[in-house]
Structure 1
Amino acid sequence: MPRKPFSARTLDAHALKSFAHPLRLSLYELLEEHGPSTATRLAGLLGHNTGATSYHLRELARHGMIEEAPELGRGKEKYWRIVPGGFSYGETPPGDEEAASALETLMDDLLRRRGAELARWREEEASTPEEWIRASGLGRRSLLLTAQETERMRDEVFEVLERYRALADRRAREPRREPDPSLGRVVVHFDVLPVGVTGDGRPAARD
C-alpha cells in the first residue's frame, strides 16, 4: 500500500531522478536554510561556477522544487526560493531501477541531514537564547501499538505539523524589508518506525 503523502506535492519518478544529484541537494539545502538567493551567491558558497549552478537551479525549478522570486531581483539579477508546501517522496514504479536508486540516495541524504542538524544543535545550544532553549525539545518514545493505532497517531501528529507549515508558508510569502527578529528557522524531525516486526505482524524474537 502506498504511503500517505503529507505535503502539497508528491515527487514522481522523473522528479526523484532529477533531485537525487549531490549539487542539487546542496542547492536546495542552502535555499531552505538561507532563504532566496542568486546563482552567483550560491555558486560562491559551494565553490562551483555560476553557469553550472544556474543549470542545476533551472532543473530544480523544472520539477517544481524551487521558483523564481521576481520581486527581489534587479535588472538581470535572478533570485530563487523554495516552493512553499513541502513535498513527499512518491512510490517508485515497479521495475524502474533508476528511480529506486534515486529514492535510496534521497533517503540516505535525509538521514545525513538529520544527523548533521542534531549535531549542529548540540554545538549551538550553549549560545542559543534562553527562550529558544525552552521552546526546543528532543524526544524518543518506544510504544507498543497496533498498526491501526500507529497510523492514527502518525496522522494526528502530521495534521499538527501541517498547520504550522501553512503558517510558515504564509510568512515566507509576505514581503519584508527587514527580517523579523522574533522569527527563527525551526527544524522538526518526526519518524514512526516499526522495529523488528515480522511479516506476520508479530514482534521478531531477539536473542
Structure 2
Amino acid sequence: MPAKKDGDDRPADELNIHMVDTRTLRALAHPLRLRLLNALREFGPATASGLADRLGESSGATSYHLRQLASNGFVEDDPERGKGRERWWRAVHAGTAFNTGLFVNHPDPDVRGAVGVVLHEIADNHAQELSTWLGTMHEWPEEWHRAWEASDFKLRLTPDLSAELITKMHELIESYRDRVPEGTEGAVTVRSHLHLFPRPTD
C-alpha cells in the first residue's frame, strides 16, 4: 500500500494516491477487500470470477466486496474489457495512504479497530510475499539469487531522525522508478517492503 510521503508537496491526485478518511477507512477494513484491491493494482483489471480463482474465494464473495469497494471509490468498472454480461473491474488509484497518527488514537473505537485491521493485513501480506519468494527462489534465474535482500538493522534514533530516515529511503526507492522501460530483457517487477518501528531497550 504505497503512501504519500511527508514532505512531498505534490498533491495526492497528482501521485494517484487515495487519501483515506474515516468513512473510506471503515470500508477498506476487510481482509478480502484489501486483497482484492492489491490484486487489481498489481495484476491489472479482472472479473470477479477471475479474482475468485486467483485468491481462492467464491465469485459471490468477490463480487459483493468489489461492489463495496466501488461504492467507496477504490475500484470502478472497466467498460473497455467487458463483453456481454461479463463485468471487469480496475483499481482507481495506484496506492492508498492515510496518516496513522490521526486514526490510532481516534476517539471512536470503530475507527481504531479499522486501522488495526488494515495495518495487520498489510503486515500479513508482506510476510506472505516474502515467504512465497523464499519458497520459489529456486525457480528464478541465478542472477536473481544474488540480487535480493532481507536484512534488519538496529539504530538509536529520535522520532525526528526516524522520520528523516524514512523520507530518505522513500526518495532513494523513488529514484529508481521508471528507469527500466517496459519490455527490457531480464527486467521484472520488484517488491520492496519498508518497516521501521521503535523497540523497548530493556
TM-score, length basis structure 2? 0.76
How many Å apart are 1:103 and its aligned residue? Answer: 0.7
Identity of aligned pairs, percent?
Answer: 31
* Alignment partners' CA distance in 2, 1:59 and 1:49: 14
The equivalent of 2:23 in structure 1 is 14
Q: 1:184 to 1:61 in 2, by over 3 A?
A: farther
* Alignment partners' CA distance in 1, 2:107 and 2:53: 39
> Aligned match of 2:193 in 185, 189, 197?
189
How many Å apart are 1:182 and its aligned residue? Answer: 4.5
Alignment check: 8 A CA contact 2:25 2:115 kept:
yes
Q: 1:148 to 1:16 in 2, by over 3 A?
A: same
The equivalent of 2:10 in structure 1 is none
Is structure 2 residue 44 aligned with structure 1 residue 35?
yes
Mean alpha-carbon deviation: is it higher for 104-113 or for 27-36? Answer: 27-36
Tell me which amino acid in the other structure corresponds to 1:194: P
Alignment check: 8 A CA contact 2:48 2:59 kept:
no
The equivalent of 2:12 in structure 1 is none
How many Å apart are 1:33 and its aligned residue? Answer: 4.3
- Where in structure 2 are the equivalents of 1:42-61 lying within 5 Å? 42-45=51-54, 46-50=56-60, 52-61=61-70
* Alignment partners' CA distance in 1, 2:47 and 2:26: 24
Alignment check: 8 A CA contact 2:75 2:91 kept:
yes
1:45-71 Cα distance to aligned partner (Å, 9 max, x none): 433144x42231122123332233333
* Alignment partners' CA distance in 1, 2:122 and 2:189: 18
Is structure 2 residue 118 aligned with structure 1 residue 114?
no
Alignment check: 8 A CA contact 2:31 2:118 kept:
no
Give the SS at the match of 1:73.
coil
The structure whose Rg is larger is 1
Tell me which amino acid in the other structure corresponds to 1:123: G
Alignment check: 8 A CA contact 1:15 1:63 kept:
yes
Gapped regions of structure 1 (runs ≥ 5): 172-178, 197-203
Is structure 2 residue 108 aligned with structure 1 residue 104?
no
TM-score, length basis structure 1? 0.74
> Aligned match of 2:92 in 64, 67, 83?
83
Tell me which amino acid in the other structure corresponds to 1:89: F
1:153-191 Cα distance to aligned partner (Å, 9 max, x none): 1111112334556x49x97xxxxxxx8774533221112
Tell me which amino acid in the other structure corresponds to 1:26: R
The equivalent of 1:200 in structure 2 is none
RMSD after superposition: 2.9
- Where in structure 2 are the equivalents of 1:151-170 lying within 5 Å? 151-164=163-176, 167=178
Alignment check: 8 A CA contact 1:36 1:79 kept:
yes
Q: 1:63 to 1:107 in 2, by over 3 A?
A: same
* Alignment partners' CA distance in 1, 2:172 and 2:159: 20
Q: 1:127 to 1:105 in 2, by over 3 A?
A: same
